């Protein structure tokens, strides 16, 4: 009829992305077991049968969510770190680590989608299974290993020593805390929210910590 516009139906890819986004949010909020396919379908605006069509069920969607986390992390910082080759240049090695930290901080403190990603990963770490195995093997292990190699160049320490591996975990952990602890941090700092200005302050502290840790490790 004249004057009535037909609403375009979402494409298969749009439906798939909507289901993954809903999976990340609901699995993170409620946990995998407490989230039904009906909840996911309603949240995403998709037909409940589309979960089976795209992912062969809820467990397949869970793994797709894990793959989406890996892809996002590669986009933020992972690919640049894995591709880096500073040789024996200490300053360049520190710069690569610092650049990755800045990218992670800006994403995890400012971007709204980071909340769903962080909550999903935390849930999977509390109840480990195939999803966290995928995140570990495809993201955490290679990224952490690459940072350890950079740390080794910057500090002249063994890249795979326990001290190096723990130091790198400590550096990454700062970024994670500023995401998970954001409500408490904002209250204590008197911030309404974390925006670009607040992120700059966080970056200044964490990059300063990085350089202090590198100097301390060199003196060992």
Q: Does residue 3 carry a pLDDT above 80?
A: no
> How many Å apart are CA 23 and CA 52, to the nearest integer?
13
Topology of domain 64-219, CATH: Tetracycline Repressor; domain 2 (1.10.357)
- What do you get for the CA distance between the two ends of the chain, in Å? 79
Write down the residue that tokens 């999803």 correspond to: 131
Q: What is the pLDDT of residues 110-163, one digit of tens each?
A: 999 999 999 999 999 998 899 999 999 999 999 999 999 999 999 999 999 999
Q: Where are the domains of the chain?
A: 64-219
> How many Å apart are CA 12 and CA 1, to the nearest integer?
27
Q: What is the pLDDT of residues 41-50, one digit of tens each?
A: 999 999 999 9
Q: What is the DSSP letter of 78?
A: I
Residue of 162, 161, 157 lying closest to 215 (CA atoms): 157
Give the predicted TM-score (pTM) of the model.
0.88
């Amino acid at each position: 009829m004249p004057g009535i516009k037909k609403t375009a139906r979402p494409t298969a890819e749009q439906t798939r992305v909507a289901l993954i986004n809903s999976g990340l949010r609901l699995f993170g909020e409620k946990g995998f077991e407490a989230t039904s396919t009906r909840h996911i379908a309603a949240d995403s605006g998709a037909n409940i049968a589309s979960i089976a069509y795209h992912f062969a069920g809820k467990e397949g969607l869970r793994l797709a969510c894990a793959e989406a986390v890996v892809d996002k992390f590669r986009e933020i910082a992972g690919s640049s770190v894995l591709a880096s080759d500073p040789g024996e240049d200490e300053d360049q090695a520190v710069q690569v680590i610092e650049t990755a930290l800045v990218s992670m901080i800006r994403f995890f403190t400012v971007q709204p989608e980071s909340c769903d990603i962080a909550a999903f990963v935390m849930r999977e770490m509390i109840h480990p299974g195939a999803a966290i195995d995928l995140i570990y093997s495809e993201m955490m292990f290679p990224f952490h290993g690459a940072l350890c190699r950079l740390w080794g160049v910057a500090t002249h320490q063994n890249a795979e020593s326990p001290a190096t591996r723990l130091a790198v975990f400590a550096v990454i952990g700062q970024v994670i805390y500023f995401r998970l602890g954001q409500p408490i941090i904002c209250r204590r700092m008197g911030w309404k929210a974390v925006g670009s200005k607040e992120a700059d302050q966080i970056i200044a502290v964490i990059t300063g910590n990085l350089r202090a840790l590198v100097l301390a490790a060199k003196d060992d």
